[in-house]
Amino acid sequence: MVQKVKDASGAVVQKVEDASGAVVQKVEDASGAMMQKVEDASGAVVQKVEDASGAVVQKVEDASGAVVQKVEDVS
């Protein structure tokens, strides 16, 4: 099952996918200024929030029993 929502200008894209036990959710504007991705595949969970300049990155990952949380500001 794949669900994708996009406005006429392409400014907003939301995609939800379930394939072979994997779930992916992605939200992105047309400029790439903000991206949120949540993925569950083979027991791994990844959440990432990023702006286009890379100034802010938040990443939470759980894979093979590992948990990583990262917040970065390059400015």
Contacts of 55 by beta carbon, 8 Å cutoff, 6+ apart: 73, 74, 75
Residue whose C-alpha is closest to residue 56's, from 38, 70, 37, 39? 70
| Residue-number span of the structural domain to which 35 is assigned | 2-73
Domains of the chain: total: 1
Q: What is the pLDDT of residue 7?
A: 62
CA distance 39 to 65: 15
Looking at every residue in the chain, the average pLDDT score rounds to 59
CA distance 22 to 4: 16
Q: What is the pLDDT of residue 42?
A: 52
Q: What is the pLDDT of residue 65?
A: 46
Q: Give mean pLDDT, residues 7-25.
A: 58
CA distance 45 to 10: 27
| 67 has pLDDT over 60 | no
CA distance 42 to 24: 12
Q: What is the pTM of this model?
A: 0.31
Q: Give mean pLDDT, residues 17-33.
A: 59
